[in-house]
A and B are shown apart, each in its own frame.
Chain A
Amino acid sequence: LTQDLRKLLFSTNNLSDFEIIVTQANQTETIFNCHRAILSFRSNYFDGLFRSKMKEYQEGRVFFSDVSPEVMKNILDYIYTGSIEITEENAVEILIKSKQLCIDEIVFFTSNFIQRNI
């Protein structure tokens, strides 16, 4: 099931109904094709975003500029499959973004990881 869900996240033409677009300083855009049902179920941030039926809900996409595509991919990995790869390099960034997105489990894992490794 885990593998199927990962496939779902990274395959194209996957009945996706929502895009997460990560923009970087150099104007490059990375698009993740996602699913509202899964996102809203796994993160209070997305839950509120869909419930409030604002612009993102109408347009079917959201722009993030405060996160790297790699970290976003890590977090989505967790949202879809329940496992995440935390390294010394990405730990802090993951912590910040997951806290913002209200995914408490990742916050818990990463802060534990950082405490152990400092």
Chain B
Amino acid sequence: MSRKMILRVPKFQEPKRMEKSEAQRLWLLLKDAIVEVQHMNASTLSFEELYRSSYSLVIAKRGDILYTGLEEVNNHHTKNLLDKIAQAVDERFLIELNSQWQQYKLQQIMIHDILMYLDRMYVKEPQLKVFDLGMFKWKQNVLIHSQINDRLVRMLLGLIHMERNGEVIDGALMKSLIQMYVDVSLKEKETYKQEFEERFLLATSHFYKSESNLFITNNSCGAYLKKVEIRLIEEEARIKQYLDESTGPKLIKACEDELIANHMQTMIEMETGCRTMIQNDRFNELKLMYRLFQRVENGLVHLKNEFAGYVRNEGHKIVNQPENLKDPNALITSLIEIRNRFEKTLSQSFANNRDFINSVNTAFESFLNENDKLSESLALFIDKKLRGGFKDSNDQEIDVIMNKVILLFRFLSDKDVFKKFYEHYLAKRLLSGRSFSEDLERTMISKFKQECGNQFTSKMEGMFTDMRLSKDALDGFKNYLQTSVEMGKLPKIDMSVRVLTQGFWPTFPPHSCTLPPLLSQYCDLFTKYYCHAHTGRRIIWQTNIGTAEVTFRLPKKTHVLALSTYQMLIMLLFNDAEKLSLKQMAAGTSISFMDIQRSVKPLYSGKYKVLKRTPAVEKSKELSENDIFELNLNLKCKLHRIKFAATSQTDSEPERQHTRQRVDEDRKIEIDAAIVRIMKSRKALIHNDLIVECTKQLSSRFVPQTSMIKKRIENLIEREYLERFPDDRRRYRYLA
């Protein structure tokens, strides 16, 4: 406890209460010093002395004298300054104001330093700190005084206006004067905002409103965009040069509103506007437009919609052009072309913006599904490429084309239709040996596989497997023939058979025909051999897709004719007859009359005519049952081997119908499966939900029609997979 005593050193007793006269003396000393400071005569004063005086007053609890005294001195001083400044005329006004302000600020810092102890120990909220008090007095007595404020703001705005019109102004002076508004604001820059910023923004909007209206009516959109960009850069610089940074976003917003947002519609619609730029691939202007529109709310939506609309329109034109409807190759080629073009626009102008890409894709989706020919056209396009169209392209180019095909494919809503057509043409390519390269075929298929999964391509891959197995089977058959007993009795012919697994291949409409005895014998032999090797399998002969080579002996020359099986049968009939009517041909071969018609046509109307119609009639005339044909013994042809088209190159309408029908059949099965899958997991479901759910599940392959789903539901109820709830007809229950 003795320590306590040691601490109480007598020397540091509480200071005695200060006499009032002593306090007054100290205040007068300080007051004189402050006045000296205000007259810029501070260098002879002793800081320590002044500091200690204010310190003594404060610890003697006489801070009030000091504080109120200071307020008075400041008041007096600023009022004097006001008169001085207000007298200055014209440009002198700003300069005088600025120099007085700069001095005043320095003085206030000094006064703050001297009275630091007062500031720290005496001043309590809501009293202003010493420096803030000085600022407040300046604001009250100088800045917002009616003789100054309005005049100052008008002059500042006038200077900014001049600068916007290209004149050079004193940036440092501007900065200092504008910063003054910030400095005298006590909190949140309220004086700056109220007195200056508000009016400045208004003037800005006003300026750019009239400028932009005038400029855009007299210039092209491209020029206007450039102007806007320059203006925005200038304003950014202005913020840095002399405005408070808090104004930045507001100023830029005001400019963007006037320069961009208010003119967006015009820029899109005007003659030199967005539409023309897209049409003419003006990538740089579009890029600038994108960059500027990006800055305003909903700006990109406008631009995006415009672009997507243009894409849709262009696509619509292409898919409906009469020439394109006739020529699938031209159709797909031009689709790939515009796709490339728009991809270029997207990447060069629109920064590959996700939204833009999506809306372009949506546009593609909509016009690609506008008519149902596209699936087939695309399949035909690939068919042509794979039949040899790729011959002159290198691997990279082929890959690019394939990827574009996949891209278009992705947009198709009825992928199952495409699949049927693709399988159909693939089958034809494989069977007629017209495929250009098996590798490319497989590459293409693997791309589909990546896109749609195994199920999509399993049949196509099955076809390839069949082709390979067939070759093995055929080799085996040839060996078998050599060892066979019957061999000796038969003349040798070179027969080639392909064994196709039912289900992998498109079903060809069944046709029957009578084969010549020699061929039938060979067929029987093959059936015998094959069924022996693979027990339990059944062979159905599809003669209508086969080919044959026949020797055609003319008096002077011999040709080899490459024909379809049907054509071969028809030609063989002429071994025993000179003239035959179509009716007779049909009877002799058991081929349907329609197929006879189609098979005969290339034989008499192509480049090389092996048959002639007697009596000769106009080519175009439809064939009738009783038309008579005979061999054309005067055939002139340099080639030894003459190849004939089996039928017309593209599919006939009935065949196409047939493909469609098959697609519909498949869809029924898919829908049934989907319904059962859904109901199995959900047990009970309301009609609408079931439809929605079903459409969703199938959407990757095709878009089912609601009426079709309804029919399938009815059918499933009949087959007792589902039943309706007795009390609620709109609900279904799954019957296990």
Task: Give Cα distance in the complex from A114 to B12, angstroms.
Answer: 14
List of B residues within 8 angstroms of A102 by Cβ: 116-117, 120
Encoded as 1 (CB less than 8 Å from any A CB) or 0, chain B from 98 to 110 comes to 0000000000011
List of A residues within 8 angstroms of B46 by Cβ: 54-56
Q: Is the C-beta of A96 less than 8 angstroms from some C-beta in chain B? A: yes
Encoded as 1 (CB less than 8 Å from any B CB) or 0, chain A from 13 to 39 comes to 000000000000000000000000000
Task: Give Cα distance in the complex from A52 to B116, angstroms.
Answer: 12
Within 8 A of A (CB), among B591-640: none
List of B residues within 8 angstroms of A63 by Cβ: 48
Q: Is the CB of B3 within 8 A of A49?
A: no
Known contacts A92-B7, A100-B55, A118-B7, A54 near B116 by CB under 8 Å: no
Q: Is the C-beta of A5 less than 8 angstroms from some C-beta in chain B? A: no
Q: Is the C-beta of B310 less than 8 angstroms from some C-beta in chain A? A: no
Known contacts A51-B113, A92-B7, A45 near B12 by CB under 8 Å: no
Least Cβ–Cβ distance between B44 and chain A, in angstroms: 6
Q: Is the CB of A54 within 8 A of B6?
A: no
Task: Give Cα distance in the complex from A58 to B45, angstroms.
Answer: 10
Q: Is the CB of B42 within 8 A of A54?
A: yes
List of A residues within 8 angstroms of B44 by Cβ: 54-55
Known contacts A91-B7, A117-B7, A64 near B48 by CB under 8 Å: yes
Within 8 A of A (CB), among B33-79: 42-48, 50-52, 55
Task: Give Cα distance in the complex from A53 to B36, angstroms.
Answer: 13
Q: Is the C-beta of B17 less than 8 angstroms from some C-beta in chain A? A: no
Q: Is the C-beta of A93 less than 8 angstroms from some C-beta in chain B? A: yes
Task: Give Cα distance in the complex from A47 to B47, angstroms.
Answer: 11
Known contacts A92-B7, A102-B120, A54 near B43 by CB under 8 Å: yes
Task: Give Cα distance in the complex from A111 to B110, angstroms.
Answer: 30
Q: Is the CB of B116 within 8 A of A44?
A: yes
Q: Nearest CB to that of A64 among chain B residues?
A: B48
Encoded as 1 (CB less than 8 Å from any A CB) or 0, chain B from 111 to 137 comes to 011101100100000000000000000
Which of the residues B43, B51, B109, B110 comes within 8 Å of A45, measured between beta carbons?
A: B51
Q: Is the C-beta of B537 less than 8 angstroms from some C-beta in chain A? A: no
Which of the residues A48, A53, A66 comes within 8 Å of B112, measured between beta carbons?
A: A48
List of B residues within 8 angstroms of A53 by Cβ: 42-43
Q: Nearest CB to that of A88 among chain B residues?
A: B6
List of A residues within 8 angstroms of B51 by Cβ: 45, 48-49
Within 8 A of A (CB), among B506-537: none
Residue in A55, A62, A63, A91 with the greatest tally of chain B CB atoms within 10 Å: A55
Q: Is the C-beta of A57 less than 8 angstroms from some C-beta in chain B? A: yes
List of B residues within 8 angstroms of A56 by Cβ: 46-48
Task: Give Cα distance in the complex from A48 to B55, angstroms.
Answer: 14
Which of the residues B4, B6, B47, B109 comes within 8 Å of A49, measured between beta carbons?
A: B47
Least Cβ–Cβ distance between B410 and chain A, in angstroms: 69
Which of the residues B4, B12, B117, B120 comes within 8 Å of A118, measured between beta carbons?
A: B4
Which of the residues B9, B45, B117 comes within 8 Å of A54, measured between beta carbons?
A: B45
List of B residues within 8 angstroms of A52 by Cβ: 42, 47, 109-110, 113-114
Least Cβ–Cβ distance between B8 and chain A, in angstroms: 9
Q: Nearest CB to that of B37 among chain A residues?
A: A52
Q: Is the C-beta of A89 less than 8 angstroms from some C-beta in chain B? A: yes
Task: Give Cα distance in the complex from A45 to B50, angstroms.
Answer: 12
Encoded as 1 (CB less than 8 Å from any B CB) or 0, chain A from 88 to 106 comes to 1101110010001010000
Q: Nearest CB to that of B45 among chain A residues?
A: A54
List of B residues within 8 angstroms of A118 by Cβ: 3-4, 7
Least Cβ–Cβ distance between A28 and chain B, in angstroms: 17
Least Cβ–Cβ distance between B63 and chain A, in angstroms: 15
Task: Give Cα distance in the complex from A93 to B120, angstroms.
Answer: 20
List of A residues within 8 angstroms of B48 by Cβ: 49, 56, 62-64
Q: Is the CB of B9 within 8 A of A92?
A: yes
Known contacts A48-B112, A114-B7, A55 near B43 by CB under 8 Å: yes
Encoded as 1 (CB less than 8 Å from any B CB) or 0, chain A from 43 to 84 comes to 011011101111111100011101000000000000000000
Least Cβ–Cβ distance between A65 and chain B, in angstroms: 9
Least Cβ–Cβ distance between A44 and chain B, in angstroms: 6
List of B residues within 8 angstroms of A64 by Cβ: 48
List of B residues within 8 angstroms of A49 by Cβ: 47-48, 51, 113
Task: Give Cα distance in the complex from A117 to B45, angstroms.
Answer: 41
List of B residues within 8 angstroms of A117 by Cβ: 3, 7
List of A residues within 8 angstroms of B116 by Cβ: 44-45, 48, 102
Within 8 A of A (CB), among B138-155: none
List of B residues within 8 angstroms of A51 by Cβ: 109-110, 113
Q: Nearest CB to that of A56 among chain B residues?
A: B47
List of A residues within 8 angstroms of B114 by Cβ: 48, 52
Least Cβ–Cβ distance between A56 and chain B, in angstroms: 5
Q: Is the CB of A57 within 8 A of B12?
A: no
Known contacts A53-B42, A100-B117, A102-B116, A48 near B6 by CB under 8 Å: no
Least Cβ–Cβ distance between A61 and chain B, in angstroms: 10
Least Cβ–Cβ distance between B104 and chain A, in angstroms: 15
Known contacts A45-B116, A51-B110, A102-B116, A57 near B47 by CB under 8 Å: yes
Task: Give Cα distance in the complex from A100 to B45, angstroms.
Answer: 19
Least Cβ–Cβ distance between B698 and chain A, in angstroms: 77
Task: Give Cα distance in the complex from A92 to B51, angstroms.
Answer: 21
Q: Is the CB of B113 within 8 A of A93?
A: no
Task: Give Cα distance in the complex from A39 to B224, angstroms.
Answer: 59
Task: Give Cα distance in the complex from A22 to B457, angstroms.
Answer: 100
Q: Nearest CB to that of A89 among chain B residues?
A: B6
Task: Give Cα distance in the complex from A57 to B6, angstroms.
Answer: 39
Known contacts A49-B113, A55-B45, A89-B6, A96 near B12 by CB under 8 Å: yes
Least Cβ–Cβ distance between A26 and chain B, in angstroms: 15
Residue in B12, B45, B48 with the greatest tally of chain A CB atoms within 10 Å: B48
Least Cβ–Cβ distance between B131 and chain A, in angstroms: 11
Least Cβ–Cβ distance between A116 and chain B, in angstroms: 10
Task: Give Cα distance in the complex from A14 to B160, angstroms.
Answer: 54
Q: Is the CB of A48 within 8 A of B7?
A: no
Task: Give Cα distance in the complex from A93 to B55, angstroms.
Answer: 16
Least Cβ–Cβ distance between A11 and chain B, in angstroms: 26
List of A residues within 8 angstroms of B117 by Cβ: 100, 102
List of A residues within 8 angstroms of B43 by Cβ: 53-55, 57-58
Task: Give Cα distance in the complex from A100 to B594, angstroms.
Answer: 119
Task: Give Cα distance in the complex from A93 to B10, angstroms.
Answer: 12
Task: Give Cα distance in the complex from A54 to B51, angstroms.
Answer: 12
Task: Give Cα distance in the complex from A89 to B52, angstroms.
Answer: 24
Q: Nearest CB to that of B51 among chain A residues?
A: A45
List of B residues within 8 angstroms of A54 by Cβ: 42-47, 50, 110
A-B contact pairs, 20 of them (CB 8 A): A48-B112, A49-B51, A49-B113, A52-B47, A52-B114, A54-B45, A54-B47, A54-B50, A55-B46, A55-B47, A56-B48, A62-B48, A63-B48, A64-B48, A88-B7, A93-B12, A96-B12, A102-B120, A117-B3, A118-B3
Given A49-B113, A88-B7, A102-B116; 13 other pairs, CB 8 A cutoff: A44-B116, A53-B42, A53-B43, A54-B45, A54-B46, A55-B47, A56-B46, A56-B47, A57-B47, A62-B48, A89-B9, A92-B9, A114-B7
In the A-B complex, list the 5 residue pairs whose CB atoms are closest, starting with the nearest: A48-B113, A54-B47, A52-B110, A55-B46, A49-B47
